[in-house]
Structure 1
Amino acid sequence: MDEALELSSFMPVSYGTQSEGEYIAFLWDAFRSNYEGGKFEFASLAFHLLYMSYVGFSIWQIRLVREQDFRRALIGFQSESEMKLLSAVNPFLFYEQLKESQIFRFLKLIGCANEQVGEFSKFVKRRNKIAHPSGTVFFNDRAAIDAEIVDMMREVRNIESHMKPVISDMYGRFLLDSAEQEELQYDTLDQEIEVNLIHRDYVSLKDIEICLEYDISVHAAHQKFELIGTLHHSLSERFGADIADVAA
Protein backbone atom coordinates (compact mmCIF):
# COMPACT_ATOMS: atom_id res chain seq x y z
CA MET A 1 0.00 0.00 0.00
CA ASP A 2 2.78 2.46 0.91
CA GLU A 3 4.39 1.98 -2.49
CA ALA A 4 1.09 2.80 -4.18
CA LEU A 5 0.50 5.90 -2.08
CA GLU A 6 3.82 7.30 -3.30
CA LEU A 7 2.09 7.93 -6.62
CA SER A 8 0.22 10.82 -4.98
CA SER A 9 3.44 12.87 -4.94
CA PHE A 10 3.63 12.49 -8.73
CA MET A 11 0.04 13.69 -9.19
CA PRO A 12 -0.98 17.37 -9.44
CA VAL A 13 -1.05 19.28 -6.18
CA SER A 14 -4.45 20.66 -7.17
CA TYR A 15 -6.62 20.76 -10.25
CA GLY A 16 -8.06 23.41 -12.50
CA THR A 17 -11.63 22.28 -11.88
CA GLN A 18 -13.42 20.71 -8.96
CA SER A 19 -14.66 17.78 -11.05
CA GLU A 20 -11.10 16.79 -12.02
CA GLY A 21 -10.04 16.74 -8.38
CA GLU A 22 -13.13 14.76 -7.43
CA TYR A 23 -12.39 12.21 -10.16
CA ILE A 24 -8.85 11.58 -8.90
CA ALA A 25 -10.10 11.44 -5.30
CA PHE A 26 -12.70 8.87 -6.39
CA LEU A 27 -9.99 6.70 -7.95
CA TRP A 28 -7.88 6.84 -4.79
CA ASP A 29 -10.90 5.92 -2.68
CA ALA A 30 -11.73 3.03 -5.02
CA PHE A 31 -8.15 1.80 -4.83
CA ARG A 32 -7.92 1.99 -1.04
CA SER A 33 -11.31 0.45 -0.29
CA ASN A 34 -10.81 -2.46 -2.69
CA TYR A 35 -7.22 -3.04 -1.60
CA GLU A 36 -8.15 -3.05 2.08
CA GLY A 37 -11.20 -5.21 1.34
CA GLY A 38 -9.13 -7.81 -0.48
CA LYS A 39 -10.73 -7.11 -3.87
CA PHE A 40 -7.35 -6.75 -5.51
CA GLU A 41 -8.61 -7.07 -9.07
CA PHE A 42 -10.70 -3.91 -8.71
CA ALA A 43 -7.94 -2.17 -6.77
CA SER A 44 -5.66 -2.86 -9.72
CA LEU A 45 -8.12 -1.27 -12.15
CA ALA A 46 -8.33 1.89 -10.03
CA PHE A 47 -4.56 2.12 -9.70
CA HIS A 48 -4.18 1.64 -13.44
CA LEU A 49 -6.44 4.65 -14.05
CA LEU A 50 -4.33 6.69 -11.65
CA TYR A 51 -1.19 5.59 -13.50
CA MET A 52 -2.69 6.52 -16.87
CA SER A 53 -3.80 9.88 -15.44
CA TYR A 54 -0.18 10.54 -14.44
CA VAL A 55 0.92 9.70 -17.98
CA GLY A 56 -1.71 12.09 -19.35
CA PHE A 57 -0.47 14.91 -17.11
CA SER A 58 3.07 14.31 -18.38
CA ILE A 59 1.94 14.41 -22.01
CA TRP A 60 0.09 17.66 -21.25
CA GLN A 61 3.33 19.20 -19.99
CA ILE A 62 5.20 17.95 -23.05
CA ARG A 63 2.61 19.58 -25.30
CA LEU A 64 2.98 22.88 -23.43
CA VAL A 65 6.76 22.99 -23.63
CA ARG A 66 7.58 21.01 -26.77
CA GLU A 67 4.66 22.08 -28.93
CA GLN A 68 6.44 21.84 -32.28
CA ASP A 69 7.75 18.37 -31.46
CA PHE A 70 4.27 17.42 -30.31
CA ARG A 71 2.83 18.61 -33.62
CA ARG A 72 5.34 16.54 -35.58
CA ALA A 73 4.46 13.49 -33.50
CA LEU A 74 0.86 13.85 -34.70
CA ILE A 75 1.81 13.09 -38.31
CA GLY A 76 -0.31 10.16 -39.40
CA PHE A 77 -3.30 11.05 -37.25
CA GLN A 78 -6.56 12.06 -38.88
CA SER A 79 -6.82 15.84 -39.13
CA GLU A 80 -9.83 15.98 -36.80
CA SER A 81 -8.02 13.99 -34.11
CA GLU A 82 -4.92 16.11 -34.60
CA MET A 83 -6.85 19.33 -34.03
CA LYS A 84 -8.60 17.95 -30.96
CA LEU A 85 -5.32 16.81 -29.43
CA LEU A 86 -3.79 20.23 -30.03
CA SER A 87 -6.81 22.10 -28.68
CA ALA A 88 -7.63 19.83 -25.72
CA VAL A 89 -8.27 22.00 -22.67
CA ASN A 90 -7.25 19.34 -20.16
CA PRO A 91 -5.19 16.12 -20.22
CA PHE A 92 -8.19 13.84 -19.77
CA LEU A 93 -9.43 14.79 -23.25
CA PHE A 94 -6.38 13.13 -24.82
CA TYR A 95 -7.98 9.77 -24.14
CA GLU A 96 -11.01 10.68 -26.23
CA GLN A 97 -8.76 10.69 -29.29
CA LEU A 98 -6.13 8.10 -28.37
CA LYS A 99 -6.10 4.49 -27.36
CA GLU A 100 -4.29 4.08 -24.08
CA SER A 101 -1.38 2.31 -25.75
CA GLN A 102 -1.01 5.15 -28.29
CA ILE A 103 -0.41 7.89 -25.77
CA PHE A 104 2.93 6.43 -24.76
CA ARG A 105 4.40 7.24 -28.18
CA PHE A 106 4.64 10.88 -27.08
CA LEU A 107 7.15 9.88 -24.42
CA LYS A 108 9.64 9.45 -27.26
CA LEU A 109 9.70 13.25 -27.35
CA ILE A 110 11.54 13.26 -24.01
CA GLY A 111 14.13 10.71 -25.08
CA CYS A 112 12.43 7.44 -24.19
CA ALA A 113 13.47 4.62 -26.52
CA ASN A 114 11.04 2.14 -28.05
CA GLU A 115 12.03 -0.47 -25.48
CA GLN A 116 11.23 1.92 -22.64
CA VAL A 117 7.92 2.90 -24.21
CA GLY A 118 7.08 -0.79 -24.38
CA GLU A 119 7.79 -1.13 -20.67
CA PHE A 120 5.53 1.83 -19.90
CA SER A 121 2.65 0.49 -21.98
CA LYS A 122 2.78 -3.17 -20.93
CA PHE A 123 0.39 -2.42 -18.08
CA VAL A 124 -2.34 -1.61 -20.61
CA LYS A 125 -2.15 -5.16 -21.95
CA ARG A 126 -2.33 -6.55 -18.43
CA ARG A 127 -5.28 -4.33 -17.60
CA ASN A 128 -7.10 -5.52 -20.71
CA LYS A 129 -6.82 -9.09 -19.47
CA ILE A 130 -8.71 -8.29 -16.29
CA ALA A 131 -11.14 -5.74 -17.73
CA HIS A 132 -12.95 -8.43 -19.72
CA PRO A 133 -14.74 -11.55 -18.45
CA SER A 134 -12.17 -14.33 -18.48
CA GLY A 135 -13.22 -16.61 -15.66
CA THR A 136 -9.88 -16.00 -13.96
CA VAL A 137 -8.93 -13.70 -11.10
CA PHE A 138 -5.59 -12.26 -12.17
CA PHE A 139 -4.72 -10.60 -8.84
CA ASN A 140 -5.88 -13.07 -6.24
CA ASP A 141 -3.63 -12.08 -3.36
CA ARG A 142 -1.89 -9.07 -1.86
CA ALA A 143 1.56 -10.18 -3.01
CA ALA A 144 0.49 -10.22 -6.66
CA ILE A 145 -0.91 -6.69 -6.71
CA ASP A 146 1.97 -5.37 -4.61
CA ALA A 147 4.43 -6.73 -7.17
CA GLU A 148 2.44 -5.06 -9.96
CA ILE A 149 2.43 -1.73 -8.10
CA VAL A 150 6.19 -1.90 -7.52
CA ASP A 151 6.63 -2.49 -11.25
CA MET A 152 4.35 0.43 -12.17
CA MET A 153 5.99 2.83 -9.74
CA ARG A 154 9.40 1.99 -11.18
CA GLU A 155 8.12 3.15 -14.56
CA VAL A 156 6.55 6.28 -13.05
CA ARG A 157 9.95 7.25 -11.63
CA ASN A 158 11.54 6.48 -14.98
CA ILE A 159 9.11 8.77 -16.80
CA GLU A 160 9.60 11.53 -14.24
CA SER A 161 13.38 11.35 -14.63
CA HIS A 162 12.98 11.88 -18.38
CA MET A 163 10.58 14.75 -17.71
CA LYS A 164 13.12 16.85 -15.79
CA PRO A 165 14.18 19.03 -18.77
CA VAL A 166 10.52 19.62 -19.65
CA ILE A 167 9.62 20.59 -16.08
CA SER A 168 12.63 22.89 -15.85
CA ASP A 169 11.76 24.63 -19.12
CA MET A 170 8.11 24.87 -18.08
CA TYR A 171 9.06 26.54 -14.82
CA GLY A 172 11.49 28.91 -16.50
CA ARG A 173 8.73 29.93 -18.88
CA PHE A 174 6.38 30.58 -15.96
CA LEU A 175 8.95 32.81 -14.25
CA LEU A 176 9.63 34.81 -17.41
CA ASP A 177 5.96 35.09 -18.39
CA SER A 178 5.15 36.42 -14.92
CA ALA A 179 8.09 38.83 -14.91
CA GLU A 180 7.37 40.23 -18.35
CA GLN A 181 3.83 41.32 -17.52
CA GLU A 182 3.37 44.95 -16.57
CA GLU A 183 1.88 43.66 -13.35
CA LEU A 184 1.09 40.22 -12.01
CA GLN A 185 -2.23 38.78 -13.12
CA TYR A 186 -3.27 38.01 -9.54
CA ASP A 187 -3.15 39.96 -6.29
CA THR A 188 -0.74 37.68 -4.45
CA LEU A 189 2.27 35.59 -5.40
CA ASP A 190 0.54 32.49 -4.06
CA GLN A 191 -2.40 33.08 -6.40
CA GLU A 192 -0.05 33.67 -9.33
CA ILE A 193 1.72 30.38 -8.61
CA GLU A 194 -1.52 28.49 -7.97
CA VAL A 195 -3.27 29.49 -11.19
CA ASN A 196 -0.49 30.04 -13.71
CA LEU A 197 1.78 27.20 -12.64
CA ILE A 198 0.06 24.59 -10.48
CA HIS A 199 -3.33 24.56 -12.20
CA ARG A 200 -2.34 25.41 -15.74
CA ASP A 201 0.56 22.96 -15.90
CA TYR A 202 -0.84 20.19 -13.64
CA VAL A 203 2.21 20.39 -11.38
CA SER A 204 2.98 17.74 -8.76
CA LEU A 205 5.18 17.83 -5.67
CA LYS A 206 7.79 15.87 -7.61
CA ASP A 207 7.62 18.52 -10.34
CA ILE A 208 8.00 21.28 -7.75
CA GLU A 209 11.07 19.52 -6.42
CA ILE A 210 12.57 19.90 -9.90
CA CYS A 211 11.40 23.52 -10.07
CA LEU A 212 13.16 24.37 -6.82
CA GLU A 213 16.42 23.06 -8.30
CA TYR A 214 16.07 25.56 -11.16
CA ASP A 215 19.00 27.97 -11.41
CA ILE A 216 17.35 31.38 -11.54
CA SER A 217 20.74 33.05 -11.98
CA VAL A 218 20.42 32.41 -15.73
CA HIS A 219 17.96 35.33 -15.65
CA ALA A 220 20.22 37.63 -13.63
CA ALA A 221 20.28 40.20 -16.43
CA HIS A 222 16.49 40.42 -16.59
CA GLN A 223 15.19 43.81 -15.52
CA LYS A 224 12.71 42.11 -13.19
CA PHE A 225 15.13 39.57 -11.77
CA GLU A 226 14.08 40.58 -8.27
CA LEU A 227 10.51 39.50 -9.03
CA ILE A 228 11.76 36.22 -10.48
CA GLY A 229 13.67 35.60 -7.27
CA THR A 230 10.64 36.49 -5.17
CA LEU A 231 8.42 34.07 -7.08
CA HIS A 232 11.01 31.32 -6.73
CA HIS A 233 11.31 31.98 -3.00
CA SER A 234 7.52 31.97 -2.62
CA LEU A 235 7.30 28.56 -4.28
CA SER A 236 9.93 27.25 -1.88
CA GLU A 237 8.18 28.77 1.13
CA ARG A 238 4.86 27.28 0.15
CA PHE A 239 5.92 23.76 -0.78
CA GLY A 240 9.37 23.22 0.73
CA ALA A 241 8.04 21.48 3.84
CA ASP A 242 5.74 19.21 1.80
CA ILE A 243 8.64 18.14 -0.39
CA ALA A 244 10.76 17.43 2.68
CA ASP A 245 7.96 15.24 4.06
CA VAL A 246 7.77 13.27 0.81
CA ALA A 247 11.54 12.78 0.76
CA ALA A 248 11.63 11.66 4.41
Structure 2
Amino acid sequence: MVATAPSPTAGVVRPGVRREVRVGLVAVVSLVIVAIALLLPVWPAGDDMGSTHYMGLLAANQPWNLLLFMAVPVIAAETIAVTELVILFSPQRAGRAVRALNRYAGLIGGFYFLGVFVYLMKHAVVPLMTDGGWRGPADVIAVGFYLLGVVPLFGMALMEARVLGEAWDDQRRLKVHATLVGLFLVVAHVAMITGMLDPTVLGWQPTHAMEDGSQMAGMNH
Protein backbone atom coordinates (compact mmCIF):
# COMPACT_ATOMS: atom_id res chain seq x y z
CA MET A 1 0.00 0.00 0.00
CA VAL A 2 1.36 3.38 -0.97
CA ALA A 3 1.18 6.00 1.75
CA THR A 4 -0.19 9.33 0.65
CA ALA A 5 0.71 12.66 2.14
CA PRO A 6 -2.04 14.22 4.23
CA SER A 7 -3.99 16.97 2.57
CA PRO A 8 -2.73 20.43 3.62
CA THR A 9 -6.31 21.39 4.42
CA ALA A 10 -7.07 18.34 6.51
CA GLY A 11 -8.17 19.24 10.02
CA VAL A 12 -8.12 22.95 9.22
CA VAL A 13 -11.27 25.04 9.42
CA ARG A 14 -11.57 27.20 6.35
CA PRO A 15 -11.61 30.93 7.08
CA GLY A 16 -14.62 31.24 4.78
CA VAL A 17 -16.70 29.07 7.09
CA ARG A 18 -16.02 31.33 10.06
CA ARG A 19 -16.82 34.37 7.97
CA GLU A 20 -20.10 32.83 6.85
CA VAL A 21 -21.03 32.25 10.49
CA ARG A 22 -20.23 35.86 11.38
CA VAL A 23 -22.18 37.20 8.42
CA GLY A 24 -25.11 34.97 9.34
CA LEU A 25 -25.09 36.13 12.97
CA VAL A 26 -24.89 39.79 11.96
CA ALA A 27 -27.75 39.30 9.50
CA VAL A 28 -29.93 37.61 12.13
CA VAL A 29 -29.23 40.26 14.77
CA SER A 30 -29.88 43.04 12.24
CA LEU A 31 -33.19 41.50 11.15
CA VAL A 32 -34.29 41.10 14.77
CA ILE A 33 -33.47 44.75 15.50
CA VAL A 34 -35.30 45.89 12.36
CA ALA A 35 -38.35 43.79 13.27
CA ILE A 36 -38.46 45.17 16.82
CA ALA A 37 -38.11 48.75 15.54
CA LEU A 38 -40.97 48.22 13.09
CA LEU A 39 -43.21 46.72 15.79
CA LEU A 40 -42.62 49.46 18.35
CA PRO A 41 -45.55 51.88 18.66
CA VAL A 42 -45.05 55.55 17.97
CA TRP A 43 -44.33 57.60 21.07
CA PRO A 44 -46.79 60.42 21.75
CA ALA A 45 -45.51 63.74 20.49
CA GLY A 46 -45.19 66.79 22.69
CA ASP A 47 -46.53 70.27 22.08
CA ASP A 48 -45.84 71.63 18.61
CA MET A 49 -43.52 74.61 19.04
CA GLY A 50 -43.07 75.27 15.34
CA SER A 51 -39.45 74.08 15.47
CA THR A 52 -37.80 71.48 13.27
CA HIS A 53 -39.00 67.93 13.78
CA TYR A 54 -35.49 67.08 14.98
CA MET A 55 -35.81 69.53 17.85
CA GLY A 56 -39.40 68.51 18.47
CA LEU A 57 -38.32 64.88 18.78
CA LEU A 58 -35.67 65.65 21.38
CA ALA A 59 -37.90 68.03 23.34
CA ALA A 60 -40.84 65.60 23.63
CA ASN A 61 -41.18 63.00 26.42
CA GLN A 62 -38.37 64.48 28.49
CA PRO A 63 -35.92 63.11 29.39
CA TRP A 64 -36.45 59.83 27.51
CA ASN A 65 -36.34 61.06 23.92
CA LEU A 66 -33.21 63.07 24.65
CA LEU A 67 -31.54 60.03 26.18
CA LEU A 68 -32.64 57.51 23.56
CA PHE A 69 -32.19 59.55 20.39
CA MET A 70 -29.26 61.80 21.35
CA ALA A 71 -27.37 60.74 24.47
CA VAL A 72 -26.92 57.03 23.71
CA PRO A 73 -25.55 57.33 20.13
CA VAL A 74 -23.43 60.41 20.89
CA ILE A 75 -21.93 58.90 24.06
CA ALA A 76 -21.15 55.71 22.12
CA ALA A 77 -19.46 57.70 19.34
CA GLU A 78 -17.46 59.86 21.74
CA THR A 79 -16.38 56.78 23.69
CA ILE A 80 -15.11 55.31 20.43
CA ALA A 81 -13.37 58.59 19.55
CA VAL A 82 -11.56 58.89 22.90
CA THR A 83 -10.43 55.26 22.99
CA GLU A 84 -9.44 55.54 19.32
CA LEU A 85 -7.08 58.40 20.17
CA VAL A 86 -5.47 56.33 22.90
CA ILE A 87 -5.00 53.40 20.53
CA LEU A 88 -3.64 55.61 17.73
CA PHE A 89 -1.20 57.73 19.74
CA SER A 90 -0.28 55.34 22.57
CA PRO A 91 -0.67 51.84 21.14
CA GLN A 92 1.73 50.39 23.70
CA ARG A 93 -0.28 51.82 26.59
CA ALA A 94 -3.67 50.89 25.20
CA GLY A 95 -4.46 47.81 27.22
CA ARG A 96 -7.06 45.16 26.58
CA ALA A 97 -9.69 47.12 28.51
CA VAL A 98 -9.34 50.18 26.24
CA ARG A 99 -9.45 48.08 23.08
CA ALA A 100 -12.43 46.09 24.36
CA LEU A 101 -14.28 49.30 25.27
CA ASN A 102 -13.57 50.66 21.79
CA ARG A 103 -14.83 47.51 20.12
CA TYR A 104 -18.00 47.01 22.15
CA ALA A 105 -18.93 50.68 21.95
CA GLY A 106 -18.75 50.31 18.17
CA LEU A 107 -20.84 47.15 18.17
CA ILE A 108 -23.51 48.45 20.54
CA GLY A 109 -23.65 51.91 19.00
CA GLY A 110 -23.96 50.59 15.45
CA PHE A 111 -26.70 48.05 16.07
CA TYR A 112 -28.56 50.43 18.38
CA PHE A 113 -28.61 53.21 15.79
CA LEU A 114 -29.82 50.76 13.16
CA GLY A 115 -32.95 50.36 15.29
CA VAL A 116 -33.26 54.13 15.72
CA PHE A 117 -32.94 54.60 11.96
CA VAL A 118 -35.69 52.09 11.13
CA TYR A 119 -37.99 53.41 13.87
CA LEU A 120 -37.71 57.02 12.70
CA MET A 121 -38.04 56.08 9.05
CA LYS A 122 -41.38 54.43 9.82
CA HIS A 123 -42.80 56.90 12.32
CA ALA A 124 -41.27 60.18 11.12
CA VAL A 125 -39.79 60.26 7.63
CA VAL A 126 -42.44 58.26 5.76
CA PRO A 127 -45.39 60.17 7.33
CA LEU A 128 -43.68 63.52 6.68
CA MET A 129 -43.04 62.61 3.05
CA THR A 130 -46.58 61.30 2.61
CA ASP A 131 -48.31 64.27 4.23
CA GLY A 132 -45.91 66.95 3.01
CA GLY A 133 -45.19 67.96 6.59
CA TRP A 134 -41.58 69.05 6.17
CA ARG A 135 -40.83 72.48 7.59
CA GLY A 136 -38.52 73.75 4.91
CA PRO A 137 -34.86 72.99 4.13
CA ALA A 138 -33.71 73.23 7.75
CA ASP A 139 -36.08 70.44 8.73
CA VAL A 140 -35.00 68.16 5.88
CA ILE A 141 -31.29 68.78 6.52
CA ALA A 142 -31.56 68.20 10.27
CA VAL A 143 -33.50 64.95 10.00
CA GLY A 144 -31.57 63.76 6.96
CA PHE A 145 -28.13 64.29 8.47
CA TYR A 146 -29.22 62.73 11.76
CA LEU A 147 -30.33 59.58 9.95
CA LEU A 148 -27.14 59.55 7.85
CA GLY A 149 -25.36 58.67 11.08
CA VAL A 150 -26.41 55.06 10.49
CA VAL A 151 -23.79 54.76 7.73
CA PRO A 152 -20.66 55.34 9.87
CA LEU A 153 -22.08 53.81 13.07
CA PHE A 154 -23.35 50.62 11.46
CA GLY A 155 -20.20 50.52 9.35
CA MET A 156 -18.14 50.44 12.55
CA ALA A 157 -20.33 47.65 13.91
CA LEU A 158 -19.69 45.62 10.76
CA MET A 159 -15.96 46.20 11.17
CA GLU A 160 -16.02 45.12 14.81
CA ALA A 161 -17.97 42.00 13.84
CA ARG A 162 -15.22 41.28 11.26
CA VAL A 163 -17.77 41.28 8.46
CA LEU A 164 -16.21 44.36 6.87
CA GLY A 165 -12.45 44.67 6.40
CA GLU A 166 -11.59 41.22 7.71
CA ALA A 167 -8.41 41.04 5.62
CA TRP A 168 -7.22 44.57 6.44
CA ASP A 169 -4.13 45.09 8.54
CA ASP A 170 -4.37 46.89 11.88
CA GLN A 171 -3.18 50.21 10.48
CA ARG A 172 -5.80 50.30 7.75
CA ARG A 173 -8.52 49.23 10.16
CA LEU A 174 -7.62 52.07 12.52
CA LYS A 175 -7.62 54.62 9.70
CA VAL A 176 -11.03 53.54 8.38
CA HIS A 177 -12.41 53.28 11.90
CA ALA A 178 -11.21 56.78 12.80
CA THR A 179 -12.65 58.13 9.53
CA LEU A 180 -16.06 56.64 10.34
CA VAL A 181 -15.98 58.13 13.84
CA GLY A 182 -15.18 61.55 12.40
CA LEU A 183 -17.90 61.20 9.78
CA PHE A 184 -20.51 60.42 12.42
CA LEU A 185 -19.50 63.40 14.55
CA VAL A 186 -19.72 65.67 11.49
CA VAL A 187 -23.21 64.55 10.43
CA ALA A 188 -24.41 64.59 14.04
CA HIS A 189 -23.26 68.17 14.54
CA VAL A 190 -24.74 69.32 11.23
CA ALA A 191 -28.05 67.79 12.32
CA MET A 192 -27.76 69.40 15.75
CA ILE A 193 -26.96 72.89 14.48
CA THR A 194 -29.57 72.84 11.71
CA GLY A 195 -32.13 71.26 14.02
CA MET A 196 -31.78 74.15 16.48
CA LEU A 197 -32.35 76.68 13.70
CA ASP A 198 -35.73 78.36 13.38
CA PRO A 199 -37.09 76.76 10.17
CA THR A 200 -38.54 80.10 9.06
CA VAL A 201 -34.97 81.39 8.57
CA LEU A 202 -34.63 79.14 5.51
CA GLY A 203 -38.00 80.04 4.09
CA TRP A 204 -40.60 77.85 5.81
CA GLN A 205 -43.95 79.59 6.29
CA PRO A 206 -45.85 78.22 9.32
CA THR A 207 -49.60 77.81 9.11
CA HIS A 208 -52.34 77.61 11.69
CA ALA A 209 -55.33 75.31 11.30
CA MET A 210 -58.65 77.15 11.73
CA GLU A 211 -61.82 75.60 13.10
CA ASP A 212 -63.27 75.20 9.61
CA GLY A 213 -60.17 73.29 8.49
CA SER A 214 -58.64 76.14 6.50
CA GLN A 215 -55.03 77.22 6.95
CA MET A 216 -53.86 80.66 8.02
CA ALA A 217 -50.27 81.49 7.10
CA GLY A 218 -47.79 83.19 9.38
CA MET A 219 -48.82 81.65 12.71
CA ASN A 220 -47.24 78.95 14.84
CA HIS A 221 -49.14 76.40 16.86
What TM-score, normalized to structure 2?
0.35
Which has the larger helix fraction?
Answer: 1
Rg comparison, structure with higher value: 2
Greater relative contact order, per chain length (Cα 8 Å cut-off, separation 6+): 1
